[in-house]
Structure 1
Amino acid sequence: MDKKLLDILACPVTRQPLTLLDGERLKALNAIIGQSGAQFGEHRQTDALREALVTRDGKRIYRIDDGIPVLLPDEALDAGSLAGPPQG
């Protein structure tokens, strides 16, 4: 993801800055997706993600589809189901 774009993105709900989900948590998310899928609002994600964004407090994850962040409030994933400490 382009660094300039990443610098201006914010969560539409909390207004917190967003960062790329780190490799370990992305791997954990993709493991969940591989087992049973992950529900991003109405969208059921069944394919592994290459990238995802996370809020500073680590509570909301937004998928990136074909390089485009999906920053719709109803399309965020509650990160509470992922292992590991919050990142941000």
Structure 2
Amino acid sequence: MSDTPTVPPACVDPRLLEILVCPLTREPLRYDAAAQELISDAAKLAYPIRDGIPIMLVDEARSLDDAAGA
């Protein structure tokens, strides 16, 4: 009797990925399945995917510059 779900993380529909663009730059996004993020290389932002839903708000995005280190 475990409360831990056994389903894998939600996937994003490939057709959706074809039409989504960065709301800041309007450039295509790259899907990072391991991190469950959509990456905008142009804006250096990572948009989270929660419960299979891309959160396409710049305020919710993680800066990739922070991950680059010093």
The two structures have a TM-score, normalised by structure 1, of 0.57
The percent identity for this pair of structures is 42
Tell me what 2:42 maps to. Answer: 57
Q: Say if 2:15 is the partner of 1:4.
A: yes
Match of 2:48, SS state, is strand
- Alignment root-mean-square deviation, CA: 2.1
Mark the structure with the bigger radius of gyration.
2
Segments of structure 1 that go 5 or more residues without pairing to the other structure are 27-50, 84-88
Whose helix fraction is larger, Structure 1's or Structure 2's? 1
Tell me what 2:6 maps to. Answer: none
The two structures have a TM-score, normalised by structure 2, of 0.70
* C-alpha deviation, 1:77, in angstroms: 1.0
Say how many residue pairs are matched. 58
